[in-house]
Amino acid sequence: MMPTMSQVYLDGKFLPPEQARVSVFDRGFIFGDGVYEVIPVFGGRLFRLPHHLARLEASLAAIRLRNPHTVQEWKTIFTRLMAEHGTSDQSIYLQITRGVAPRDHAFPPNAIPTVFAYALPLKYPPAEQLMQGVTAVTSADIRWQRCDIKAIALLANALLRQQAIEQGAVEAILVRDGVITEGAASNIFIVSGDRLVTPPKGPYILPGITRDLVVEIARANKIACEEKPVGIEALRTADEVWLTSSTKEILPITRIDGRPVGAGKPGPMHARMFALYKEYKQAFIQGKVE
């Protein structure tokens, strides 16, 4: 079933989704040649927009594609899409591909990007997942070597996530050479004693906006937080494990590969961090922080 919305943005036009058409020769369709962003909206305000646009710019630069819009032009597009859902929590999905060209692996000269965006109400994890935690499995990280690019070519991620779902889990925690990278669609934190640890940024993880905010909030509140490699044994002996993303926020993982994490229930550090995160979000809605 298609999501319910009255309009989408496609290449300079706002139109009903059923009227939106992209060429079968678009390189996004043929090669997965493009990037994307997902931007939450709280209280009618685009959450951490400069951070999302900076990541978008980095992804575009990495695939050598020009940014088709200025910051103000993006704001104008997003604001019109947001209007349909008022001040309810929602998210903007944005996708940019290299555009239409004859099928050839080489980049076409003078490519005109295809730009597509829409807004939808934000779907939060069920309340019981926050109260009880979720299950994850570990999986070999079979993806490429530029996971820091938020690319639309997500087949490996989709396969890994599907394998997790078929094992009754919510997420796959990816392991490369004995070290945790991230989730199939999230970043990972572990809690050891009174210390947070999350894998460092690099080519094998996507620099998550929520991940960075959790690190920022922790340090602002004198919670020890390290960005360093997390081995598989450290994951298995952690007191708490969390996943973070723009749509799942901070979600506790209480079982991994069929074994309980710590006490097998959401821990006190998660309760503290999630409360601090909600305080930050409320301050943002009130215009007290950007």
* % of residues, the chain, pLDDT over 90: 97
Report which of 63, 243, 39 is spatially closest to residue 151, judged by C-alpha positions: 63
Over range 217-235, report the average pLDDT: 98
Strand 134-140, strand 249-256: pairing? parallel
Task: Indicate the average pLDDT of the chain.
Answer: 97
Report which of 134, 169, 158, 138 is spatially closest to residue 231, judged by C-alpha positions: 138
Predicted model pTM? 0.96
For residue 182, name the pLDDT band (cuts at 50, 70, 90): very high
For 233-281, the pLDDT digits (tens) are 999 999 999 999 999 999 999 999 999 999 999 999 999 999 999 999 9
What domains are defined for the chain? 8-121 (3.30.470.10), 127-285 (3.20.10.10)
For 68-98, the pLDDT digits (tens) are 999 999 999 999 999 999 999 999 999 999 9
Phi first, then psi: what are they for 288, rounded to 5°?
-85, -25
Q: What integer pLDDT is reported at residue 23 of this predicted model?
A: 97
Phi first, then psi: what are they for 73, rounded to 5°?
-65, -40
Q: In sequence order, which residues have a C-beta less than 8 Å from that of residue 72 and are 6 or more positions away?
A: none
What residue has token string 């009880």?
132
Contact (Cβ atoms closer than 8 angstroms) between residue 179 and residue 231: yes
Write out the two tokens for 99.
């555009």
2 has pLDDT over 70: no
* % of residues, the chain, pLDDT over 70: 99
191 has pLDDT over 70: yes
For residue 3, name the pLDDT band (cuts at 50, 70, 90): low
Q: What integer pLDDT is reported at residue 4 of this predicted model?
A: 75
What residues act catalytically?
150
Q: What one-character-per-residue DSSP string does 15-47 give?
A: E-GGG----TTBHHHHH--EEEEEEEEETTEET
Whole-angstrom distance, CA of residue 254 vs CA of residue 147: 26
